[in-house]
């Protein structure tokens, strides 16, 4: 699970808040020089409880925790502390994690484009990781034909 934390803290967050442009008004909110981050990224997680399946009696002494596939009935709904450092020290992402979802929104004024991005990682009980990304774009102010524009005289 350390590779997931490394991705979140080192690669993802540093690329999301990175800007080397000295003329940026709010450097922390710029992404790749042209996109403005709207709000904060939201990280959500789906997790199962450690008693979500049964262990055969002959293995019960050796295997004390059992994590099944995700099902709303066995979902772990424990409150998670805010902030990544405390979540990391409390092992927020563990063997019970079944999905990690990252949502964030961007606005690019150069092309009048509002983007909603979602990256999701699914894991199975055997810790197979599968990443999926989805981007949606919305034009906030559609362009009008020139004949509809009114110029001051």
Alpha-carbon distance of 16 to 138, in angstroms, equals 20
Rounded CA separation 12/101 (Å): 13
Cβ pair 66, 54 in contact under 8 A: yes
For 99-129, the pLDDT digits (tens) are: 888 888 888 877 778 888 888 888 777 666 6
Q: How far apart are CA 33 and CA 37, in angstroms?
A: 11
CA distance 5 to 1: 7
Res. 152 pLDDT band, cuts 50 70 90: very low
- What percentage of the chain carries pLDDT values higher than 90? 0
* HSE-CB for 63 with a 13 A CA cutoff: 12
pLDDT for res 31: 62
Q: Quick: pLDDT tens for 87-97.
A: 666 677 778 88
Listed in sequence order, the DSSP H helices in the chain are: 2-6, 13-16, 84-89
Lowest mean pLDDT of 64-73, 80-89, 108-117, name the range: 80-89
What pTM value is reported for the model? 0.66
Give pLDDT, residue 19: 53
The domain ranges of the chain are 2-141
Question: What is the structure's pLDDT at 5?
Answer: 74
């Amino acid at each position: 699970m350390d590779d997931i934390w490394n991705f979140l803290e080192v690669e993802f967050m540093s690329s999301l808040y990175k800007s080397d442009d000295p003329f940026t008004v709010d450097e922390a909110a710029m992404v790749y020089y042209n996109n403005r981050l709207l709000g904060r990224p939201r990280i959500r997680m789906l997790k199962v409880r450690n008693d979500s399946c049964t262990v055969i009696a002959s293995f019960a002494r050796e295997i004390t925790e059992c994590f099944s596939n995700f099902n709303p009935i066995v979902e772990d709904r424990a409150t998670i502390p805010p902030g990544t450092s405390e979540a990391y020290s409390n092992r927020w992402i563990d063997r019970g994690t079944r999905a990690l979802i990252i949502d964030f929104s961007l606005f690019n004024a150069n092309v009048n484009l509002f983007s909603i991005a979602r990256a999701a990682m699914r894991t199975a009980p055997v810790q197979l990781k599968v990443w999926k990304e989805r981007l949606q774009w919305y034009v906030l102010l559609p362009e009008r034909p020139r004949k509809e524009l009114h110029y001051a005289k």
